[in-house]
Structure 1
Amino acid sequence: MDHLPDNNSRYKDVEYWDERYKTEQCYDWLGSFSKFQHLLEKLVKKEDSILILGCGNSSMSGDMYSAGYRAITNIDYSSVCISTMSERYSNCPGMTWHQMDVRQLSFPDASFDVVLEKATLDAIMVEEKTPWEVSPQTACFIHQALTEISRCLKPGGRFVSVTFAQPFFRKRLYARTEYNWSIKHHSYGEGFEYFLYVMTKGEELSPEDAALEKKLLEDTKSPPTSITTTANEDKEDFLSNIDL
């Protein structure tokens, strides 16, 4: 692919994305909306107010709009992306686009029924070498983002996270009482399995997830373990280099 960076760390640089979005028309990480539409339709109402994080140039927002979801707010930290996508979907009333950092959302508390991200958090973790011990810098970044997501959710609202990361690893990040949500997960995909996590605001963690949080707090460090990663269908390979 023409847009592959020389080093995976570039996926964290806004300059890389600005340059990429100047020429790339569309790219969908972890499959298109149609791949998990059957799951989302059970979780998200057509009249829900939806915030999409790290929208990129994915067709997901447009596909959701065509499927009847009309109150969609999109953010990305690339100004090039936001400018391009805003123009592309200028004929879609109710669809808005904003340049914004996921760690500093400029929305009031309890603004959205649904916050949705697809591979955005995965991209933040491109330099992590083991799923057992996330670096302090990345852990801080993720915590800031999840805190903001929880703040912006209405009571009973859902944070939907679409990722390649298995529950054993991803729940280690999501299972925190302070986020004030429960966690459930689903999977989709043929050949390679992807996961869709649903965090519901105002619900308590399950006993299992509460026990996981307690264990993680007690175990400040987990022993490193060799992880075998399955190849996936995405053309870009940073997802196959980490297993978070």
Structure 2
Amino acid sequence: MAKDENRKELAHPEYWNQRYASAEKESKDGSAAMASFEWLRTFANLRPFFEKYLPAASIGYHILHLGCGNSTLTADLYALGYTNQTSVDFSQVVIDAMIMKHSNLNTCWLVMDVRDLQLPDASIDVAIDKGTLDAMIHGSLWDPPDDVKDNVGKYANEVARVLKPGGQWFSIT
């Protein structure tokens, strides 16, 4: 996936649906759930960062996971007391798998494109991106192609729109 023309695919749900469907097929042995895959860092690596910068779980802030994929991050934060979470991804396949895998969590999993968030204005306290922005970028960082500028611009505008005044956006890249 290192070639630039292949990286363009990462900004489209069709690529991810196919990838997650393959992962789901490989992991099923009758009852096994889709295995998690962690881009960049595991929760164990990121936990000190979150403990330092996330508001206390007791405050009940609404956390939005942007492009959640099949990461354990939602479940890991839930275990620490962050129970008001919405996890979105534009892959129907991965959202269905996560709903089944984490049916014990009282959290929200939604099929949604981060470039067109179907959420009310100023409704989110904390937004977390763990590798999602990376999937939108290809080509030169100094002179990005128009599709990169468009995708990143829409994404940033949507996150800014749904964050409450004073809200936090963590982009782990």
Q: TM-score range by the shorter chain?
A: 0.7 to 0.9
Residues 12 and 131 (structure 1), Cα distance of their counterparts in 2 relative to 1, 3 Å cut: same
| Contact kept in structure 2, 1:74 and 1:97, CA below 8 Å | yes
Q: Using the alignment, how far apart are the partners of 1:59 and 1:22 within structure 2? A: 18
Corresponding residue SS for 1:160: strand
Corresponding residue SS for 2:117: coil
Corresponding residue SS for 1:42: helix
Quote the residue 1:140 is aligned against. 150
Quote the residue 1:117 is aligned against. 129
Q: Please, which of 40, 59, 65 is the counterpart of residue 50 of structure 2?
A: 40
Q: Using the alignment, how far apart are the partners of 2:120 and 2:9 within structure 1? A: 31
| Contact kept in structure 2, 1:5 and 1:11, CA below 8 Å | no
Q: 1:12, CA displacement in angstroms?
A: 2.6
Please say which of residues 26-35 and 4-13 is displaced more in the overlay.
4-13
Q: Using the alignment, how far apart are the partners of 2:166 and 2:172 within structure 1? A: 19
Structure with more helix by fraction = 2
TM-score between the two structures when normalised by the length of structure 1: 0.61
What is the letter of the counterpart of residue 10 of structure 2?
Answer: Y
Residues 11 and 137 (structure 1), Cα distance of their counterparts in 2 relative to 1, 3 Å cut: closer
Percent identical residues: 37
Q: Using the alignment, how far apart are the partners of 1:22 and 1:132 within structure 2? A: 35
CA deviation map 1:139-191 (0-9, x unaligned) = 1111111111011111111011000xxxxxxxxxxxxxxxxxxxxxxxxxxxx
Residues 137 and 5 (structure 1), Cα distance of their counterparts in 2 relative to 1, 3 Å cut: closer
Q: Name which one, 1 or 2, has greater alpha-carbon Rg.
A: 1
Corresponding residue SS for 1:134: coil
CA deviation map 1:59-100 (0-9, x unaligned) = 11111111221111000000011111011111111x110001
Structure 1 segment 32-181 matched on structure 2, within 5 A: 32-45=42-55, 46=57, 47-93=60-106, 95-125=107-137, 127-128=138-139, 130-163=140-173
| Number of equivalenced pairs | 157
CA deviation map 1:32-66 (0-9, x unaligned) = 12212111122222122100010001111111111
| Contact kept in structure 2, 1:54 and 1:76, CA below 8 Å | yes
CA deviation map 1:87-143 (0-9, x unaligned) = 1111111x1100011111111111011011011000111x31x22111222111111
TM-score between the two structures when normalised by the length of structure 2: 0.84
Q: 1:5, CA displacement in angstroms?
A: 9.2
Q: Using the alignment, how far apart are the partners of 1:99 and 1:146 within structure 2? A: 18
Q: 1:10, CA displacement in angstroms?
A: 2.9
Greater RCO structure (CA 8 Å; 6+ sep): 2
Quote the residue 1:201 is aligned against. none
Structure 1 segment 174-193 matched on structure 2, within 5 A: none
Q: Using the alignment, how far apart are the partners of 2:16 and 2:2 within structure 1? A: 10
What is the letter of the counterpart of residue 127 of structure 2?
Answer: V
Q: Point out where structure 1 has 5 or more consecutive residues left out of the alignment.
A: 164-244
What is the letter of the counterpart of residue 34 of structure 1?
Answer: A
